[in-house]
Structure 1
Amino acid sequence: MSDLEKLLRDEAEHAETHQDAPAGPRTTATRPGHARSTVYSVRLNPDEVAALQEYAETAGLPASTLVRSWIIERIRANGATPDLRKIIHDEVQAAVRDALRESA
């Protein structure tokens, strides 16, 4: 595992463990260009939820991020949304930049 992969995994684990902690003074809560304002409720049985959680943990992602990426990928496959890879790339780059800035 590369240093970057370890940093990202550690940050993801820390964020999941401390998701209810108050935001620090240097925290910026924005998603540039990605204002999400609609929430969909999806009913899953306990086995489906367990499978989703296991898959998300294996992927190193929160389940909601994984589900959202699947939906966006499916929409994109039908030619109706921006390039998901670019969106993810830009978000990961910003997260890495922030992590490196904080560790300096």
Structure 2
Amino acid sequence: MEPTTRDSACFEAGIKFGALYHQFAGTPVNPESAASLETAIEESIENQPFCESVEVEILTDKLADAIDHGYTELTGKFMEVEIVVEQEGTKVVTKMEMEDGYPMMKIESVTK
């Protein structure tokens, strides 16, 4: 069976989340550098094929609480992310949020 456009668009969204998380997890960050890191992440992932938009919010209040020596490392607990992929008229909206202490990446909607 051939993959559908829907299948491919969902796969593309997963690829983008994998790249985002594993490329940027561990990056040194503090509340003052959070905005520039958000922009860097968004612009980096938006370069990939079929990526319509990326919105990254680094949760600076949680970040500030975790800092004990000037910075901390970026992890999923400090980010909320939305990635929108559009491929051949199929739009996939995905999000990453913490769920039971783990950064869960999930499909919010698929529309044609």
Q: Quick check: TM above 0.5?
A: no
- Structure number with higher strand proportion: 2
- Structure number with higher helix proportion: 1
TM-score range for the pair, normalised by the shorter chain length:
under 0.3
TM-score after normalising by structure 2 = 0.26
Q: Which has the higher contact order (CA 8 A, sep 6+)?
A: 2
